Amino acid sequence: MNRAANVLALQSAQYDLLVIGGGITGAGIALDAAARGLKTALVEKDDFASGTSSRSTKLIHGGLRYLKQLEFALVKEVGSERAIVHRLAPHLVVPEKMLLPLYEKRGLGYWLTSIGLKIYDWLAGVKPEDQRKMLTRLQTLNHEPLLKKDDVKGGAIYAEYRTDDARLTIEIMKLAARKGACVANYIEVTGFLYSRDAISGALVVDGITGNRFSIDAKIVVNATGPWVDELRILNQSRQGKQLHLTKGVHIVVPFHRLPVHQAIYFDVPDGRMIFAIPRGRITYIGTTDTDYEGNKDRVLALRNDVDYILNAVNETFPSVLLTLADVESSWAGLRPLIHEEGKSASELSRKDEIFESPTGLISIAGGKLTGYRKMAERVVDKVIEQQFESRDLEPCNTDQMILPGGDFKSYDEVKKLEAELAARLGALNLRGNEATNLVHLYGTQALIIAAHFEQHQTGEPELDLLLAQAWFGIHHEMAITPLDLINRRSGFLYFNRPKMIRHAVAVVDYFGSMNKWDKETIDRYQEQVQHALTEVTRFDPDFSTIKK
């Protein structure tokens, strides 16, 4: 993906479809449309996956909680979709057995949970070996000795999949580009073009150069997540249903402070369900679900959010005694749900809906990470129905498109590559879980990064590998700023903040040398990165914002 070339192409061609929004939904639409034969462009005002698509619970899950809301069709769709996404990227969508403790005085109870999970397995098409297993009280406590023993009366083990939401988005975007989509980050839509009262493109500004230009397109899709209503206002078409934004917060603690034996999905006294998910050197915990009306470009975990999660953990695992000092990082994201009068944040449906304006702007809102592919299919079907039915286009076949790095025959091959890379990295004094992390981020593309690492040794193996990832991000993944790497391409801002504290200055300097930045630009990005590393542990709404 060459951003400079793509920005020039955006100014000189007419597109069948312009997608606005570079999250998982927009990326999925761009891939589907380009693969079917539509000339497709996509723009994102920030970096790809910089909104909700890097701030979820990072699970490709079957929507167990939606059984409570009796949304059987949604459970069936996302349940079947997660098996497809696992097949398309087995390194990135990883099987994860989840423990669900059951309690005396809250939740659905043992038998209702057993029946519910049985229905869940059936709807989601779960393979027999992964179907739910009900546990006695003693078995549950053996699975997780940290649990509060007083009122546990049993439990269940069921199947989920863990992912990295931003990496998944980036890989879908890369595949869309390979299929012919012209994609560019840091391009913000400031207005629309119209021809005979029908939308015919967009006015945009390049956030890197400041240049303004227009993009001509026969159809425009608004896939901007929490910003959907802003573009509907710009189009003078925000009527009828509107978004209802809710905030979800996650915190990260060192694994040794919450050393759970497996991922756990536990309920707390107020009725919410919270995940605690081990991931290498850390355990992350979330999420909250509260109404949000603040700045959508700067969504933060605040002290009351963090206290809520810490209290929930300490109630469920009383021996760990987590405090604010244990929190190593955090993130907060927005759910762009459809408003329903009289319903609380937790009661709102996660179903997606498509809105079409009188001028032809197609907007997609709602939905889940797991359902991105079916959401894209519905939108592209609508696009074709609106203007391209006479064309001889390919059918949707994104369920057969292996994502970059995902060319494994089985998950066993993923583990085999991990072992191979561990030996290669170990020969250069780089040990720990670096090989596992590399494979789960990049799949077979990790071999490219490893080869670059082996050829560029400075005597600091940890930094050398990090700079090899920076090289790959710049040359293959349209990483424009250091935070694009530190956050969206690697996840290190959340999952290995100590590493980034050690090497942030060197990473920014590397980006500076690769892009031939002047000292003023390098200093500005140094400040931006240091601000980000501090912000994830400040929990202070007044903490100053650094401008790009």
- The CATH number of residue 13's host domain is 3.50.50.60
Instruction: Please check whether residue 62 lies inside any domain of the structure.
Output: no
Which of the four pLDDT bands, split at 50, 70 and 90, describes residue 546? Answer: very low
521 has a pLDDT exceeding 70: yes
Question: What are the helix (H) ranges across 46-127?
Answer: 72-88, 110-124
291 shares a domain with 255: yes
Here the CATH number for the domain that contains residue 325 is: 3.30.9.10
Q: Are residues 425 and 515 in the same domain?
A: yes
**pLDDT of 246 over the 80 cut:** yes
Does 548 score more than 60 pLDDT?
Answer: no
Q: Is the pLDDT of residue 340 over 70?
A: no
- The tokens describing 477, both together, are 């993944």
Q: What is the pLDDT of residues 401-411, one digit of tens each?
A: 999 999 999 88
Tens digits of residue pLDDT in 478-509: 999 999 999 999 999 999 999 999 999 999 99
Query: Does pLDDT of 343 surpass 70?
Result: no
User: Of the spans 118-127, 316-325, 350-359, which averages the highest pLDDT?
Assistant: 316-325
pLDDT at 547: 42
What is the pLDDT averaged over residues 89-110? Answer: 85
**Domain identity same for 326 and 421:** no
Q: 198: how many CB neighbours lie within 10 A of its CB? A: 16
* Proportion of the chain above pLDDT 70, given as a percent: 95
Q: What is the pLDDT of residues 186-218, one digit of tens each?
A: 999 999 999 999 999 999 999 999 999 999 999
- In this structure, is residue 17 part of a structural domain? yes
Per this entry, what is the length of the chain? 548
Residue 82: its pLDDT value, please? 86
Output the CA torsion 539→540→546→548 (10° steps): 50
Mean pLDDT of 217-225: 97
Q: Which residue has the higher pLDDT, 139 or 78?
A: 139
Q: Which residue has the tokens 């027999």?
A: 128
> What mean pLDDT value characterizes the chain?
92
Range of the domain at 487: 411-535
- Residue 377 shares a structural domain with residue 434: no
Model confidence pLDDT, tens digit, residues 113-124: 888 888 888 877
Q: How far is CA 91 from the centre of its chain?
A: 15
Residue where one domain finishes, among candidates 298, 318, 342: 342
Cα–Cα distance, 196 to 333 (Å, whole number)? 39
pLDDT at residue 108, as a whole number: 65
Could you tell me if residue 74 is inside a domain?
no
In a shared domain, residues 382 and 497: no
pLDDT of residue 345: 59
> 47 lies in a domain?
yes
CA-nearest of 322, 321, 349 to 337 is: 349
Q: What is the pLDDT of residues 8-18, one digit of tens each?
A: 999 999 999 99
The verdict on 256 and 146 lying in the same domain is yes
Tell me, yes or no, whether 458 and 479 share the same domain. Answer: yes
| Max mean pLDDT range (25-34, 105-114, 293-302, 426-435) | 25-34
Domain boundary among 321, 342, 363: 342
CA distance 439 to 425: 12
pLDDT category of residue 342 using cuts at 50, 70 and 90 = low
Tens digits of residue pLDDT in 367-396: 888 889 999 999 999 999 999 999 999 999
Percent of the chain beyond pLDDT 90? 77
Query: Where is the domain boundary, 361, 380, 400?
Result: 400
**Is 70 within a domain?**
no
- Do 13 and 149 lie in one domain? The reply is no
pLDDT confidence of residue 76: 79
Q: Is residue 73 part of a domain?
A: no
The reply to whether 421 and 519 lie within a common domain is yes
Q: Which residues touch 212 (CB under 8 Å, ≥6 apart)?
A: 190, 203, 204, 205, 206
Instruction: State how many domains the chain has.
Output: 3
Looking at the structure, tell me whether residues 220 and 354 fall in a common domain. Answer: yes
Which amino acid would we find at residue 427?
Answer: A
Whether residue 22 is contained in a domain is answered as yes
Residues 6+ apart with CB under 8 A from 36: 380, 384, 393, 394, 395, 396
Question: Are 336 and 282 in a shared domain?
Answer: yes
* CATH number of 464's domain: 1.10.8.870
Q: State whether 437 and 525 are in the same domain.
A: yes
Considering the domain boundaries, does residue 81 fall inside one?
no
